[in-house]
Amino acid sequence: MDPVQILRSVGGVALTRAVVARGAGETAIRSAVRSGAVVRLERGLLALPGADPELVAAKRSRALLTCLSAAPRFRLWMLRPAAVPHYWHSNGKRTHSCVSHRTALTQPNVGGAVAALPDVLLHALLCLPPLESLVMVESAYNRGDIDLRYLLRHLVGNRCGKARNVVARVERGADSLLETLARILFREAGISTETQVWIEGIGRVDFLLEGFLIVEIDGLAFHLDSRQFKKDRRRDNSAVVHGLPVLRFFYDDVVFAPEVVLAQVRDVLARGSLRWPQPKRPGFAAVEPRTWR
């Protein structure tokens, strides 16, 4: 098999033995190197010209990208980029200035430089602060890319207790990182929080707090879609006509000023539910508040 095609299939860089294992002969590899189609980076390591430097660095370390470093490869939500590489190592080279993960992989690696998604999420759950790992897992779960039961089967023992608690708080329904952050913010504050609620005469809203306060979250690009912008504002008007207050928050509010968001929410809630009628929501049961720990 053509070594160029093999390298393309694994992201552009691989150990020589992995390329051979996938069907490329030594003669074909030497020919590709002589022609410049393949670069021999060092003994035992091949790459395509212009291969991704991040993947090359991982393979030079005989490692796999994982956890926070692999999140962009799977389009997972992230609160922050990785400050240093997160690598999975087995018996590879010692790498300075990295976070090294050595938990056994649950999925076989077929020669690429990135760990499989289930292992990326497991490493994140065991490595990152709870909120950072939660948003990664929730983004994969909402797309249907991971079964939470799979993660829990591999999170056994006392040292995995915090990770299991994070998985227990993952929910479906969030359309964005911001909605997940807002949900955790409200529930951590002890506020009864229902998500993606359908209200007669108004439509679906992002959050309904304490049964009467509607909260909507707008992402970075909300203003780019004029049709959606108008639809949202008309829905806000309908809510007011039905006697329900509406608060709308933006990316900067939720990410950089959550204390302001919470203060405004509490201010409206403090005025009391007696002023506001309970909306008619056929088919929706009340959601008990949950506290983030």
Based on the fold, state whether residues 158 and 183 are members of the same structural domain: no
Q: Which of 168, 189, 205 is the last residue of a domain?
A: 168
Does residue 282 form part of some domain?
Answer: no
Q: How many domains does the chain have?
A: 3
Q: Is residue 266, in this structure, part of any structural domain at all?
A: yes
Domain that residue 201 falls in: 177-275
**What's the token pair of residue 131?**
């909120």
* CA dist., res. 82 & res. 190, Å (int): 31
pLDDT at 239: 85
- Asked if 196 and 215 sit in the same domain, the reply is yes
Which DSSP category does 239 fall into? H
Residue 197 sits in a domain whose CATH number is: 3.40.960.10
> Domain end: 106, 141, 168, which one?
168
Q: What are phi and psi of 113, to 5 degrees?
A: -110, 10
pLDDT profile of the chain (293 residues), mean per 10: 94 94 94 96 96 95 96 96 94 74 91 94 97 97 97 96 97 92 96 93 92 88 64 81 90 94 95 59 41 31
- Measured CA to CA, the distance from residue 87 to residue 97 in angstroms comes to 10
The answer to whether position 288 is within a domain reads no
Strand order from edge to edge, sheet including 246-250: 193-199, 203-209, 213-218, 246-250
Q: Is residue 293 part of a domain?
A: no
Tell me: do 136 and 210 sit in the same domain: no
This prediction has a pTM of: 0.84
Do residues 161 and 103 both lie within one domain?
A: yes
Whether residue 162 is found in the same domain as residue 242: no
Cβ-count burial of 258 within 10 angstroms (0-12 exposed, 13-18 middle, 19+ buried)? Answer: middle
For residues 127 and 204, membership in a common domain is answered with no
Inside any domain, residue 280: no
Could you tell me if 121 and 217 lie in one domain?
A: no
Give 205's contacts (C-beta < 8 A, 6+ positions apart). 196, 197, 199, 214, 215, 216, 235, 239
Tell me, yes or no, whether 160 and 236 share the same domain.
no
Shared-domain flag, residues 95 and 159: yes
Instruction: Say yes or no: 213 and 265 in one domain.
Output: yes
Please indicate, yes or no, whether residues 30 and 71 belong to a single structural domain of this protein.
no
Domain co-membership, 193 together with 222: yes
Looking at residue 88, its pLDDT comes to: 96
